Amino acid sequence: MSSICKHFPDCGGCRTIDVPYADQLLAKQVDFIACASQHFPEAVPFIAPIIGCETPLYYRNKMEYAFGSDETRVYLGLKRRGHFDQVVPLTECFLLSDKMGDIFAICNAYFSEKQTSTWNPRRHSGLLRHLSIRHSKGDDQYLLNFIVSEACAELILPLAQSLAAKFPEIVSILMSVNESHGDHALFSSSDILHGQDFIEESLGEVRFKISPLSFFQSNPRQAEVLYDQIRKLAVESASDRILDLYCGIGSIGLYLARHVGSVIGIEENPSAINDAHANAERNGISNVSFKLGKVKNILKFETFDVDCIVTDPPRCGMTPKALKRMIAVGAPRIVYVSCNPVTLFQELAVICENGYRVDIVQPVDMFPNTLHVETVVKLVKI
């Protein structure tokens, strides 16, 4: 089957956009079971069929596009598959929004006319590094963040004004500075060039403020499907006490809050915790509290009496100390949310060696046209 995207397969953004979506789901299920068989075969009988995504195109709410250039032009794109130092110029992108082509064209023309330098990851030089874009699917709001190697607000401000005039849905345009040699889109400081420094997104009945550095589920509409699965597996009573590990901006805990007695969230990112408090306040949710710090440290020095622990760690999984201390809490139920099947099954094995059993393993396709899969697992204390 030919791809609908003319940039495939050079662009590293999509791995399987040339495969019919039903076949993608089948392949993910097969690979997922194979991974479980290798790392924790005891879980295989509890694996449910993968839940597919109704909208496999334009589903992401955040993308980090890289700047590249040649002798005649500056362009935006994504890294060439297998090459960290090559950028594939894009005229469209089926991952984020159908407006990307127009935004790319305006930015490319502006910076090409200015003959602006672009970041060279080998030489660690050049001004333009990334354009990070967030798109609220519910509100159709855009946040554009130009990430540069040194402050240049006077250069980008006219472009920001032009983009804001053409696209009223762009509610935020920032310029952020990344002075490090690392080829990433993190930054140390930001200036607001237009509007505000956040966008808003809704999941179910809850509205969230999303700042540039805050983590939020990449596929908001499918996140509701995922969170409904979490609620189904985590909540047994309206009086349940939930401990939400790696809570980020509080999205899972706030989604569960109206169905339980109380939620305590733990997160080490100060920006995310600030957003979590703001999100609780703006939604009038008073039965949620948040603690700032590393999960392993807070679990070491504080005692929790809860009915269920929900843990949604980074892709690398939980640290050994955090995993050990989570198990030691002794909650009747653990709901483990993971985007990495390998670390998931490795850590499920440890949890089940320490007094728990797997009740259900539910894969959810959050990332169509890629090889990735999200998973929700319910474990019960024996």
Domain boundaries, given as residue ranges, for the chain: 22-55+219-381, 62-203
Task: State pLDDT tens for residues 30-65.
Answer: 999 999 999 999 999 999 999 999 999 999 999 999
The residues annotated with a catalytic role in the active site are 339
Q: Flag whether pLDDT at 212 surpasses 90.
A: no
Task: State pLDDT tens for residues 9-19.
Answer: 999 889 999 99
| Exposure on the CB side of residue 225, measured as CA atoms within 13 A | 19
Q: Flag whether pLDDT at 213 surpasses 90.
A: no
Q: Which residue has the tokens 């472009």?
A: 159
Task: State pLDDT tens for residues 345-381.
Answer: 999 999 999 999 999 999 999 999 999 999 999 999 9
Q: Taking Cα atoms as reference points, which of 357, 358, 356, 364 lies closest to residue 327?
A: 356
Which CATH superfamily does the domain covering 22-55+219-381 fall into? Answer: Vaccinia Virus protein VP39 (3.40.50.150)
Cα–Cα distance between 181 and 324 in angstroms, integer?
35
- Provide φ and ψ at 20, rounded to 5°: -55, 145
| Sequence-ordered list of residues with C-beta below 8 angstroms from that of 250, at least 6 positions apart, any chain | 208, 244, 265, 275, 276, 279, 280, 288, 290
Task: State pLDDT tens for residues 274-329.
Answer: 889 999 999 999 999 999 999 999 999 999 999 999 999 999 999 999 999 999 99
Region 332-339: mean pLDDT is 97
Cα–Cα distance between 27 and 361 in angstroms, integer?
17
Task: State pLDDT tens for residues 106-125.
Answer: 999 999 999 999 999 999 99
CATH 2.40.50.1070 assigned to domain 62-203? The reply is yes
Region 154-161: mean pLDDT is 97
Per-residue pLDDT at 1: 55
Per-residue pLDDT at 182: 82
pLDDT band at 3 (very low <50, low <70, confident <90, very high): confident
